[in-house]
Amino acid sequence: MTDAGATAVAEGTLKGGGGSPSQAPSKALRSPWTAVVAVAVLFLAAFPVLSDDLYYQNMFILSMVFAIGAVGLNVITGYAGYVSLGQGAFIGLGAYTLGICVNDIGGSPWVWVPVAGLLAGAVAALLGVVAMRARGHAFVILTIAFLFLLQLLATNWDELTNGTGGITPPLPTWSVEYQNWPYYYSLMGLLALSLLMSWWIRRTKFGMGLIAIREDEDKAATVGVSTPTYKILAFAASAVFVGMAGAIYGYYIAFIDPLGMFNILLSVQIILSLLIGGRATLWGPVLGAFLIEWLNETSNNEFGGGNARLLIFGGLLTLVVLFLPQGIIPTVGGWIERWRTRGKAGLAGERLSGIDLRERAAPAPAAPAASAAPLLEVKGLEKRFGGVCAVDGASFTVPEGSITALIGPNGSGKTTVFNLIGGTMAAQAGEVWFDGRRIDGPPWARAHRGLGRTFQITRLFGEMTVLENVVAPLREFHVGLLNANAVSGREAGRAEELLDFVGMRKYRDVRASALSYGQQKLVELAQILMLDPKLIMLDEPAGGINPTLIERIGEMIRELNSRGKTFLIVEHNMPFVLGLCNPVLVLARGQTIASGAPDEIQKDPKVLDAYLGEDFRLEQPVGA
């Protein structure tokens, strides 16, 4: 969302429910920030007409190139959280494409600009494929290696690139009166397009998925976000406009060579611009780019010397990471928000009200219909961690339409079984059959088939709002769905309904990390429901929350079950389980030792033995 929208959201945090991003436009028009941006844009656009100062024109041109690079980098680094030090490579790729094509094939350089962009996007997608298995450190190292490898190729592949001799594109054919105008205005246009792309991505489901990947990639996978595809798309998006900007840059500089075009300092300048301006904001990269380039030029004039640049960039990078990791715009935004909300209570502290707690006697859980087909079948699952055998041949079935419990003493392997079923861990042996078919794929594929699970310790995407958290899950992989508006429209509407169901609608614009534990649990449930799952696996839904909320959750489970959802619940809270679930499966030391109706399980000696040991005998049966 635009920063005008962010301001609106901040206000919305106070008023609860109001000021959602969808109301942003009218507020945006009145916000002073928009006015500042408008003035700056007008100034930038008018400058070459008003002044023939080549020095400043040059500075603005370079600033725009870096701004486009930073806006692109924002998609993969800001939104998706993958830090890349290879962004400069796409500038070089774009420049070389233009240079080689113009000299070897001919035609006007402008024709080759879009080609350069497409090539850069394709190479980025390829890099995404290669980098699929790399995360964190490994990914950054890979991007550095990528940059240097390209530099080496450009240096050694003489026939194509003329090596260190470089390529000189033809001189401009237009009058010297408008020397820089074509470069200047085409770059402005590109910058506008990149910003549009960045803004658009941010408000679609696709963008939500990217941020989900940044916040918690493994959790994102379990809610249907097919992480490799998302990453490859993000990568390609991050490079296309940068490649085009690189082509124009090469044309402008009039000399394309490996040392200049694949210089690591280009990447450093781009990432520094992004970090200083503010990751994952819309205008942050632009602000950062203009600031850094201005600093660059000024330091050259005042202090002179290539070493001064190194000292400044290096020092700034270090200082930004240490002291200003958010960047300027989010930090200033945070100050403003804190100043505005001083003395006011946050929404998160309010009691959950408006939830209809119906007092009624809970009926005894009915046994599932005898004819119910098994929705989930687990056969002989095995999982070892080094010498420890966590799951040792567990087998059970979950009938369709039932609320099945999976209980067992600590360390019996329950959560591991969940992980194996959900696909976040690979089993050494055994099979999982879902809805009549054997499932084997990655977690998102299983989510698309209708499998949803929550986590013992709730995992939400902390930096996203509650609504965004619920919009992020992907029911099925479908381009139209990726493109869906996450802020308003059908998907957002559906998310709001689900939030309403779990009673969290008022919190739709609150940051997930600000919620209490119980509130997070409710939102996580809403996330799963967004997938429209057939089987919902809950890992300790009653753990760590107050009894009122436990009852509420129990009711929701019954409600959903009556609408056809099957449940598999891991729990320690016996009254909760025994009052809700039928059948009950018991896991001990990695194996299923019993299964049946609640009252059978209560009396089963094997179960008592597993929980309590031989010496202990219950005086009274645990009541339902």
Partner 1 sequence: MHKLRWLVLALLTTAVLIAAGCGDDDDGGGGGGGGEASGDPIKIGASLPLTGEFSEPGKAAKQGYEVWEAMVNESGGLIDGRPVEMVIKDDQSNQNTIVADYNALISQDRVDLLLGTFSSLLNLPASAVAERNRMLYVEPAGGAPELFERDFKYLFFAQQATADKQGEVWANYIVDLPENERPKTAAYPTLDDPFAQPTSEGIEAILEPAGIKTVYRETYTIDNPNLDGIASALKARNPDLVVHGATFEDGVGMVRALRKANFTPKMLYQTTAPSLGDQYSGALGKGTTEGIFYGVSHSKEAETPGNPEFVAKYQEMFGGEEVPEDAADAYATAQVLQAAVDGVGTIERERQIELADWLRENEVDTILGPLSWDDLGRPEGEFLVGQWQSGVPEIILPEEAATTDKIIPGWQPDGAG
Partner 2 sequence: MTEFLQALILGLLIGGVYALLASGLTLIFGVMNVINIAHGAFLILAAFVTWSLWRETGLDPLAAIVVLTPLMFAFGWLLYNATIRPIRRAPPAASVLLTFGLALFIEGLMGEIWGNTSHSVRPGYFTESFQIGEIFLPKAQVYGGLVAICVLASLYLVLTRSWLGRAIRASAVNPQGAELVGVKVASVAALTFAIGVASAGAGGAIASVLYPFLPGSHYQWIARLLGIIVLGGMGSLPGAVIGALCLGVAELMTVTYIGPEWATGVPYLFVFVVLLLRPQGILGMRLRQDVATA
Residues with Cβ < 8 Å from 185, sequence gap 6 or more?
A: 48
- For 44-80, b/e burial (b = at least 16 CB within 10 A) is beeebeeeeeeeebbbbbbbbbbbbbbbbbbbbbbbb
Closer CB to partner 1, 31 or 143, in the complex: 31
Which stretch, 40-48, 117-125, 144-152, 512-520, contacts partner 2 (CB under 8 A)? 144-152
Q: Is 315 in the site for partner 1 (CB under 8 A)?
A: no
Name the minimum Å distance from CB 255 to partner 2: 20
Task: Pick one of partner 2, partner 1, none as the site partner of residue 255 (Cβ within 5 to 8 A by kind).
Answer: partner 1
Rg of the chain's alpha carbons, rounded to an integer?
Answer: 29
Task: Pick one of partner 2, partner 1, none as the site partner of residue 316 (Cβ within 5 to 8 A by kind).
Answer: partner 2
The closest of 335, 328, 126 to 231, measured between CA atoms, is 126
Binding mask 399-438 for partner 1 (x = CB under 8 A): ----------------------------------------
Q: Is 179 in the site for partner 1 (CB under 8 A)?
A: yes
In this structure, how many other beta carbons lie within 10 angstroms of the beta carbon of residue 82? 26
In this structure, how many other beta carbons lie within 10 angstroms of the beta carbon of residue 377? 17
User: Strand 429-434 relative to strand 374-385: parallel, antiparallel, unpaired?
Assistant: antiparallel
Rounded CA separation 465/165 (Å): 53
Among the listed residues 29, 36, 130, 457, the single contact to partner 1 using CB under 8 A: 36
Q: Would you give the distance in Å from CA 318 to the centre of its chain?
A: 26
The one-letter code for the residue type at 306 is G
* Pairs from 343-346 (Cβ < 8 Å, separation ≥ 24): 344/14, 346/13, 346/514
Name the minimum Å distance from CB 574 to partner 2: 31
Is the CB of residue 581 less than 8 Å from the CB of residue 403?
yes
Closer CB to partner 2, 162 or 602, in the complex: 162
Residues with Cβ < 8 Å from 132, sequence gap 6 or more?
A: 228, 231, 232
Q: Is 55 in the site for partner 1 (CB under 8 A)?
A: yes
Largest pairwise CA distance in the chain: 100
Among the listed residues 14, 59, 264, 574, the single contact to partner 2 using CB under 8 A: 264
Binding mask 161-200 for partner 2 (x = CB under 8 A): ----------------------------------------
Residues 81-140 that bind partner 2 (CB under 8 A): 81, 83, 85, 130-138, 140
Task: Pick one of partner 2, partner 1, none as the site partner of residue 32 (Cβ within 5 to 8 A by kind).
Answer: partner 1
Distances from the Cα of 257 to the Cα of 90, 154, 215, 254, angstroms: 14, 8, 39, 10
Rounded CA separation 591/393 (Å): 6
Is the CB of residue 60 less than 8 Å from the CB of residue 188?
no
Task: Pick one of partner 1, partner 2, none as the site partner of residue 175 (Cβ within 5 to 8 A by kind).
Answer: none
Closer CB to partner 1, 52 or 600, in the complex: 52
Q: Is 325 in the site for partner 2 (CB under 8 A)?
A: yes
Is the CB of residue 154 less than 8 Å from the CB of residue 92?
yes
Task: Pick one of partner 1, partner 2, none as the site partner of residue 268 (Cβ within 5 to 8 A by kind).
Answer: partner 2
Closer CB to partner 2, 180 or 424, in the complex: 424
Rounded CA separation 537/434 (Å): 13
Q: Is 442 in the site for partner 2 (CB under 8 A)?
A: yes
Name the minimum Å distance from CB 315 to partner 2: 5
Distances from the Cα of 387 to the Cα of 80, 356, 384, 418, 618, angstroms: 36, 50, 7, 20, 34
Task: Pick one of partner 1, partner 2, none as the site partner of residue 62 (Cβ within 5 to 8 A by kind).
Answer: partner 1
Residues 42-71 that bind partner 2 (CB under 8 A): none
Name the minimum Å distance from CB 263 to partner 2: 10
Name the minimum Å distance from CB 268 to partner 2: 7
Closer CB to partner 2, 312 or 531, in the complex: 312
Task: Pick one of partner 1, partner 2, none as the site partner of residue 253 (Cβ within 5 to 8 A by kind).
Answer: partner 1
Among the listed residues 14, 27, 56, 401, the single contact to partner 1 using CB under 8 A: 56
Among the listed residues 424, 485, 488, 561, the single contact to partner 2 using CB under 8 A: 424
Q: Is 218 in the site for partner 2 (CB under 8 A)?
A: yes
Is the CB of residue 433 less than 8 Å from the CB of residue 439?
yes
Residues with Cβ < 8 Å from 101, sequence gap 6 or more?
A: 107, 112, 115
Name the minimum Å distance from CB 328 to partner 2: 16
Is the CB of residue 99 less than 8 Å from the CB of residue 250?
yes
Q: Is 331 in the site for partner 1 (CB under 8 A)?
A: no
Name the minimum Å distance from CB 359 to partner 1: 48
Per DSSP, helices labelled H in 157-180 are 158-161
Binding site for partner 2 (CB under 8 A): 81, 83, 85, 130-138, 140-142, 144-146, 148-149, 152, 155-156, 217-218, 227-228, 264, 268, 271, 275, 305-322, 325, 424-426, 442
